[in-house]
Each structure stands twice: as structure tokens, then as C-alpha cells.
Amino acid sequence: MSVQVWTYLLVGITFALYIGIAIWSRAGSTKEFYVAGGGVSPLANGMATAADWMSAASFISMAGIIAFAGYDGSVYLMGWTGGYVLLALLLAPYLRKFGKFTVPDFIGDRYYSNTARMVAVFCALIVSFTYVAGQMRGVGVVFSRFLQVDINTGVIIGMVIVLFYAVLGGMKGITYTQVAQYCVLIFAFMVPAIFISFQMTGNPIPQLGMGSTLNDGSGTFLMDRLNGLSTELGFAEYTDGTKSVIDVFAITLALMVGTAGLPHVIVRFFTVKRVKDARKSAGLALLLIAILYTTAPAVSVFAKMNLIDTVSNEKYSQMPVWFKNWEETGLLTFDDKNKDGIIQYVADKDKNELIVDNDIMVLANPEIANLPAWVIALVAAGGLAAALSTAAGLLLVISASVSHDLIKKVFKPNISEKGELWAARGAATVAVVIAGYFGIHPPGFVAAVVALAFGLAAASFFPAIVLGIFYKKMNKEGAIGGMVVGISLMLFYMAKFKLGWLGEIPDKSEWWFGISPEGFGTVAMIVNFMVALVINRFTPEPPQEVQEIVENIRIPSGAGEAVDH
């Protein structure tokens, strides 16, 4: 069977599976819609969290980015896993004990203020919308490359599928489809990696393969060879990188803290039964995520090595079929500057003739390594699972923010259970349509902003939640001030140094403290903490009953089920 037939088959089967699960797990109440009824087992929640978390960026782009960035790519590996330690130790158990439906719920109740709630809703909506637009785009790209449909048609198919199970099933539907999606995506990522690791090093475990010797009888370590080749071609050593230490430090911390502050991840921990289940499922989630995250850097090393071996100083006319295929998509371009018919792939921009998009490293890897057709099709199904699962989780946060935090808590407190459920479904539908619109007409800044969503989450939520739990006397004035200043500062820095909304983008040398916009969330977070603590000193302490709430969430027993209110 051809790759195309395999792809239609696998994508068709997985989609049918997701829809089947959605019908089986329809949500009947708001509690089921928001937190899946609050009775999800730790393992199921761990799998769902892992799928929720691993987006198109983790599955499709990350290994490619690392392949070209080498050591600098470590920021993503450490940043997007280390955040779970913060989440498990500092947030998840207490938020579960608190036992409401959303993150703005916590902020609003803990800081006894609807203003705080509104600020949190605003932050949640900004973070989630920027992130979801990127996912819809990812769906479109996979469709267009593997199924030869137009990108826009791909986005619309993706919208319909997500709409179907998010609107129908709510959190309950999403949770169980995410469990299935985790299985699909991890299988799709590991199979090619294991094949290639065995091919190149004789060791089938990619994590060990990347540190082994090459299979060609030379006895040279794979990474030594890669370092040698990189320097020969004028690049930095693969294991060294080019970013400054302070920037690597700041980006890693911003990604960690941002991960812990992302509302669609936090909300998953409201769905388990007890506090101890929340802790355990955070551990399971990270374990399941780590399988992909420790394999990705190995894939990067293999792919980079294969790429250099195949193209560097070889005749263009003798390139394999995959090279021509990807040239057609425009994601790989060759410009024979010195007209010698040979591909020069070097660091020097004036002499370099080959440009390779980050995204094709994972998608093209099975083709580069000559793996069977079904493996290539599997990668397509995996990429779709990753993008759809994350999109669904984000849509739920958006819909809950509108129907629960805005309509129920602020504008129309006496709305009926049924009315709220319909409002939630309506909000989810509108959110899907907006996300789809951005997927089809991506504003230029979406790609840039997705990376910065973490900075925004770090600058706004994280300090407010941590202080809310660990500092009993933290009051509303401090928390609101910190959030507003933190997110404004982050938005300002993005506008100035990344998006160029405030005139021309200044040179890197003008970065504050030498920290890039990607790492600036760390600075904005520290400012948030400081502003909050200073304001707190000069304003009245929180009422006694709020201090009692804080004492209560510190004790794990008696969490009960997520309380309806």
C-alpha cells in the first residue's frame, strides 16, 4: 500500500475512535462539562495531561529546532518538563483541595474580588487564544503535506472534529479522547525513533543510541562526529550552542514557570478525586511526557547527522526522492549560488545554499531513513493527535472562562444549571470558529506569540497562585497589582522587541539585562512578585475567613468532589 492510502486509513481510524469516545462520554451536567465529574483516575488523568500538554510544537517542531540549535535547544527540554516539578509541588495538590472549576475561580475566591477574577479571565483568554491558533495551523499543515488537501480545508476538518467532541463531551469527552490521543502520538513518535537509532548505532533505545558509537565500524561516537562535522562547516559545536548563559537561564525559567501557570494544564488536576491523586497524576503525566522529551534530542542528533551526510557536498542531481518532495512544499530550498551543482550547506550565510525548515525534521525523518510506508503514515496520525488534543484542552478553558467565570460568576449569577451548560457549549463553538479563522488567516504574529504565551502565563498567574497558597496574608490589592503590572510589562517587552509594534525592533544589544523576549517572562514574573509584596505591605490584610480558606487548602484530607456552587 502507498503512503497516501496508509495515511487515509490510519487518520480515518483514529478520527473514528475519537468521535466514538465523544459519543460514549457525553457531558450531562456542568460538573461533567468542566471537570469530567471529578472522578478521573490518576493514570487516565496523567495520560490526558500528557496529551493535553504535548502540542503540535512538541511533536512536530521541537526535535527539528533542537537539531539546528544544538545545546541551545535544551531550554525547551528542561523548560517544558521542569515546570511539572513546580506544578506538582507548589500548585496541583492545593488547587485540587480548593476544589473549584477554573483558575480564575481560585484567583477570584482566594482574593475575594471580582476584579481579580476578571483580570485572571483576561489573562487566561489571551494565553489560550494565542496558543490554540497555532494548533489549528498545525492540523492544517499535516493535512496538506500528507493528504494533499488544501491547508484551509485541513483546518476546517480539524475544527469540525474538535467541535464535535469538545462541545458534546466537555471535559469528560476531552479527557477520554486525550487518553486515546496520547497512545497514538507516543507510538507514532517512538516507532521511527527506535528504527533510526538501531540503524545508525545498533542500539534500539534512542536515549542510549545518541551517546553510542556509529554503526559504520569506525568506533567514533555519534556526537563526536556531529561536533566535528559542525565545526568543519563553520557552525558552533553541536554540544555548545551560541546563546549567552543568562539568556539560556532566563528562557528555561520562563518556560518552566509558564508551564506551571498554563490554565489548560492546571485545570486537569481538578478532575481527579483526592489530593493524593493530584500529586500522583502529576508524576505520571511527567513520566509519560518524559518518554517523548528524552527521545526528541536523540531524534535531533540522528536527523542532523543524516541530513549532513545526505546533502553536504553532494550533487544536487543525485538527491533522493524525499528531497524533491519537500522542495515542492517550500519547506526545503536549494539555491545553487556558485553554480557547481553541488550542495554547500555551511554556516556562512553568503555561501550557504540550503535552507531547511525546522518542522520537516520529524515529519521527513522516516522518509530520510527509508522506513516503511505505514511508519510515515503513523507520524501524520501522531501529529494530528498532538495538535487536536491540545486544541481541545484550550477550547475548554476558553469556554469555561466565558460561561462559568464571566456569565455565572459575574454577569448572571442566577443562571440555571442547564442554561450554564448551553452557554458553555455556545462559548466553545464560538471559540472553535475564532481559532479556525486564525488558523486559516494566521496573523503574522501568531507563531511569535505562541512561544511567548509561556512568558505571559509566567508573568501573570504563577505569582498570584503561589502567593495565594504559601502566603496567608497576601491580599487582593497586591495580587491584582502584581498581575496587572506583570502582564503589562511582558506585553510591552513583546511589542517592543519581538512584534515591532512600537517602531522598529531594536537590536539584540538593547535587550534588558541581555535577556531575549522569550526569556523575559522570568523578569516580568520577578517584578510581579515584588509589586505584589510591596503593595501588600501598605494595604489591609485579607479577611479572617479568607485566611481560613488558605489554612484549609494546605491540609490534604477532605477534598471531596469539586464543589458545585
Partner 1 sequence: MSDKQKKATAYWKENVRYLFILLSIWFAVSFGAGILFKDALNTIKIGGFKLGFWFAQQGSIYVFVILIFVYVRLMNKLDKKYGYNE
Residue where the block lists cell 481560613? 548
Nearer to partner 1, 36 or 86 (CB): 86
What is the rounded radius of gyration, in angstroms, for the C-alpha atoms of the chain?
24
Distances (CA, A) of 20 to 13, 161, 258, 356, 389: 10, 11, 34, 39, 15
Is residue 236 within 8 Å of residue 242, measured between CB atoms? yes
- To the nearest whole angstrom, how small is the minimum distance from the Cβ of residue 165 to partner 1? 30
DSSP per position, 375-428: HHHHHHHHHHHHHHHHHHHHHHHHHHIIIIIIIIIII-TT--HHHHHHHHHHHH
- To the nearest whole angstrom, how small is the minimum distance from the Cβ of residue 297 to partner 1? 4
Nearer to partner 1, 296 or 431 (CB): 296
- To the nearest whole angstrom, how small is the minimum distance from the Cβ of residue 289 to partner 1? 9
- To the nearest whole angstrom, how small is the minimum distance from the Cβ of residue 257 to partner 1? 12
Nearer to partner 1, 58 or 74 (CB): 74
Is residue 200 within 8 Å of residue 305, measured between CB atoms? yes
- To the nearest whole angstrom, how small is the minimum distance from the Cβ of residue 456 to partner 1? 22
* Backbone phi, psi, residue 99, to 5°: 70, 45
DSSP per position, 513-531: GG--GGGHHHHHHHHHHHH
* Cell numbers that stand for 423 in this block: 452557554
Residue 17 CB contacts under 8 Å (≥ 6 apart), including other chains: 180
- To the nearest whole angstrom, how small is the minimum distance from the Cβ of residue 22 to partner 1? 31
Burial class, 555, CB count within 10 angstroms (exposed 0-12 / middle 13-18 / buried 19+) = exposed
- To the nearest whole angstrom, how small is the minimum distance from the Cβ of residue 201 to partner 1? 9
- To the nearest whole angstrom, how small is the minimum distance from the Cβ of residue 221 to partner 1? 3
Nearer to partner 1, 211 or 320 (CB): 211
Nearer to partner 1, 222 or 343 (CB): 222
Binding site for partner 1 (CB under 8 A): 66, 71, 73-74, 77-78, 81-82, 84-86, 88-90, 93, 207, 210-213, 221-224, 239, 245, 248-249, 252-253, 274, 276, 279-280, 282-283, 286-287, 290, 293-294, 297, 470, 551, 554-558
The dihedral of CA 196, 199, 203, 208: what is its sign?
negative
Nearer to partner 1, 317 or 557 (CB): 557
Nearer to partner 1, 124 or 285 (CB): 285
- To the nearest whole angstrom, how small is the minimum distance from the Cβ of residue 256 to partner 1? 8
The Cα–Cα gap between 133 and 152 comes to: 13
Helices and strands, counts by H and E, the chain: 23, 2
Is residue 134 within 8 Å of residue 57, measured between CB atoms? yes
- To the nearest whole angstrom, how small is the minimum distance from the Cβ of residue 565 to partner 1? 22
DSSP per position, 205-271: -HHHHTTSB-TTSS--BHHHHHHHHHHHTTPPPTTT-SS-HHHHHHHHHHHHHHHHH-HHHHGGGGS
Nearer to partner 1, 13 or 208 (CB): 208
The Cα–Cα gap between 179 and 114 comes to: 35
The Cα–Cα gap between 358 and 114 comes to: 44
Residue 107 CB contacts under 8 Å (≥ 6 apart), including other chains: 116, 117, 119, 120, 461, 464, 465, 468, 479
505: region left, alpha or beta (phi > 0 left; psi from -120 to 50 alpha): beta
- To the nearest whole angstrom, how small is the minimum distance from the Cβ of residue 55 to partner 1? 18
- To the nearest whole angstrom, how small is the minimum distance from the Cβ of residue 216 to partner 1? 14
Nearer to partner 1, 224 or 348 (CB): 224
Nearer to partner 1, 283 or 426 (CB): 283
Nearer to partner 1, 6 or 238 (CB): 238
Among residues 347, 348, 380, 451, the alpha carbon closest in space to that of 70 is found at: 347
Nearer to partner 1, 97 or 172 (CB): 97
The Cα–Cα gap between 508 and 497 comes to: 8
Nearer to partner 1, 187 or 470 (CB): 470
Nearer to partner 1, 219 or 444 (CB): 219
**3-class DSSP state of 332:** strand
Residue 502 CB contacts under 8 Å (≥ 6 apart), including other chains: 495, 496
**Helices 520-537 and 245-261 sit at what angle, rounded to 10 degrees?**
60
